[in-house]
Chains A and B, each alone.
Chain A
Amino acid sequence: MELQYWIWIAVGISFTLYIAIAIITRASSTGEFYVAGKGVHPIANGMATAADWMSAASFISMAGIISFNGYDGSVYLMGWTGGYVLLALLLAPYLRKFGKFTVPDFIGDRYYSNIARGVAVFCALIISFTYIAGQMRGVGVVFSRYLEVDITTGVLIGMLIVLFYAVLGGMKGITYTQVAQYCVLIFAFMLPAIFISLMVTGNVIPQIGFGSTGFDGVYLLDKLDGLHRELGFHEYTSGKKTTLDVFFITAALMVGTAGLPHVIVRFFTVKKVSDARKSAGWALLFIAILYTTAPAVAVFSRTNLIETVSNKAYHALPDWFEKWEATGLISFDDKNQDGLIQYVADPEVNELKVDADIMVLANPEIANLPNWVIAIMAAGALAAALSTAAGLLLVISSSVSHDLIKKMIKPDVSEKGELIAARLSAVGAVMLAAYFGINPPGFVAATVALAFGLAAASFFPAIVLGIFSKRMNKEGAIAGMVVGILLMLFYMTKFKFGWFGGGTEKDWWFGISPEGFGSFAMMVNFAVSIIISKFTPAPDREIQELIEKIRNPNDE
């Protein structure tokens, strides 16, 4: 059957499923809208968290980025998984015991201050908006690539679907659609990975396959290192970045993960404290399936690419090359007119440009898989983008309706009124996100990665100190968050957009890249909070009792 039909069928079936789930699980109270009535099973919550967390970038771009960066790509693998250890051990159980609806809820109550709450709302909105614009763009790109509609139409279709199930179902609807989306996306990612592993190494498990020998008896990684040396690239298994920078980027991504409001809020949805711990474990297990496969896919496709194109005649290349050339993701410019492809590190000689995304997207064709597998890939990529967008949307809408309207502007609002406000702000947020998806400001791509730095620099210290220090007071926490997020914003706008006089790599403070700077800003936040709190009054008896209560899961 024709590929286009398969894709419409796969996308159509999966979208119908999401909408059906949303209708069945629609929310009828604010508790259901914000935290799914706190009745989600830990395994279901684990799957939902995994889908919430893994965005279009994890699904489409990550393996490709690793395949071009080799060892340096490890920052994403360790950074985006290690954060769950921090979540499970330092945050999730206590925030669940605290038992309210949002992250600003915790900050506002623990630091007995609406200023602290306001600062937290501001941080949550900045982080979520930079992130969601990238997701809507991702939806548009997937639609345009697979369904041959233009990006604007793609964004609009995606927007309508998210709008429908997020506005109707709230957290409850989002949770169960995310469970379905996880199943779709993990199946779509693993199937081609397993086939390619079989094709290249004869091993059915990709995680083992990329450490085995190919059919020529040479270890795959040794072969790849050799090819890289030959073509002048740096060796695949060793890095170009400095050790310090790798350390700081990994830390920023880990701590940022643990500080992202749309991830944290998922742990408010389970019944008990022990369930919050359990769902963090399940979430990481479900995420690890994709995250341990991605570096294998990276190695398979990198080797495959080099062996297929390097010094080969252009007219004798396989069909997939021509097909993806049409999308502009791969392009060939025969500089020396010899009809052969020179793919080398030296930009003067190099004739091939390859976009990182192609490493995952073209996999099914490279492995000669049937059309229905490609269709499932399309559904998987959409599932990854939509599930993340929906989770972020909920954070934005609850920040507005709950933290701003209910807690700060109009405390006497009825539950019904708050629910209407929540739905309206979700509608507003989707429209704004769609606008940015269609007209992406140039900085979206740059800021998505930096959203982690912002989360690390603002929320993480305030929450951790709020739980583990009884002495931490509002003055310390507010000062820490404000200094942390402003410092991070300053550094990223300076080096990414050239504000404040701009600067280049050699002007980086201590050689830390903007991506890794979140770790530094986080340390500054910790230091400022602790020093300021030493010189200002300790929190009241009441707050100390609140902390006692959060720490003890047994007295419900």
Chain B
Amino acid sequence: MNKNETYWKTNLKYLVILLTIWFTVSYGFGILLVDTLNQFTLGGFKLGFWFAQQGSIYVFVLLIFVYIYLMNRLDEKFKSKN
């Protein structure tokens, strides 16, 4: 496998992992499982409601910064191989 292919495969792997988390916190916790999670509370919040109106947004921000970190690291690695 050549260098560019390895780079692309690694990128796709990151995408799959991060988008799975993206889907889980919003569509999963915030929508599909909201009634189940609402049986638990976080302070004064029902948990499902919290994910829908707060938690998912925090995770979104985090996901992008994790991706920035991972990709910068990956770019470095491939630059030094040049």
Name the A residues within 8 Å of B64 (CB-CB).
Answer: 84-85, 88-89, 277, 280-281, 284
Q: What does the 1/0 interface line of B9-25 toward A look like (CB < 8 Å)?
A: 00100010011001000
Name the B residues within 8 Å of A93 (CB-CB).
Answer: 71
Q: How far is the CB of B35 from chain A (nearest CB, A)?
A: 8
Most chain A CB within 10 A, of B26, B45, B58, is at: B26
Q: How far is the CB of B38 from chain A (nearest CB, A)?
A: 7
Q: Of B27, B35, B58, B82, which one neighbours A247 at CB under 8 angstroms?
A: B27
Task: Report how far A280 CA is from B79 CA in the complex, Å.
Answer: 23
Q: How far is the CB of B66 from chain A (nearest CB, A)?
A: 9
Known A-B contacts A85-B60, A277-B71; A237 and B49 likewise in contact (beta carbons under 8 Å)? yes
**B15: nearest chain-A partner, CB-CB:** A89
A195 at interface, CB cutoff 8 A: no
B54 with A212: CB separation less than 8 A: no
B46 with A237: CB separation less than 8 A: yes
Q: How far is the CB of A244 from chain B (nearest CB, A)?
A: 9
B75 with A553: CB separation less than 8 A: yes
Q: How many residues of B contact A (CB 8 A)?
A: 42
Name the A residues within 8 Å of B22 (CB-CB).
Answer: 82, 85
Known A-B contacts A211-B43, A212-B44, A277-B68; A295 and B60 likewise in contact (beta carbons under 8 Å)? no
Q: What does the 1/0 interface line of B25-51 toward A look like (CB < 8 Å)?
A: 011001110110010001111100110
Q: How far is the CB of A285 from chain B (nearest CB, A)?
A: 5
Task: Report how far A24 CA is from B35 CA in the complex, Å.
Answer: 54
A90 with B15: CB separation less than 8 A: yes
A237 with B71: CB separation less than 8 A: no
A292 with B49: CB separation less than 8 A: no
Name the B residues within 8 Å of A213 (CB-CB).
Answer: 44
User: Which chain A residues (268-319) contact chain B, with CB distance < 8 Å?
Assistant: 274, 277-278, 280-281, 284-285, 288, 291-292, 295
A81 with B57: CB separation less than 8 A: yes
Task: Report how far A211 CA is from B42 CA in the complex, Å.
Answer: 8
- Taking Cβ atoms with an 8 Å cutoff, the residues of A that contact B are 66, 71, 73-74, 77-78, 81-82, 84-85, 88-90, 93, 207-208, 210-213, 219-222, 237-238, 243, 246-247, 250-251, 274, 277-278, 280-281, 284-285, 288, 291-292, 295, 548, 551-554
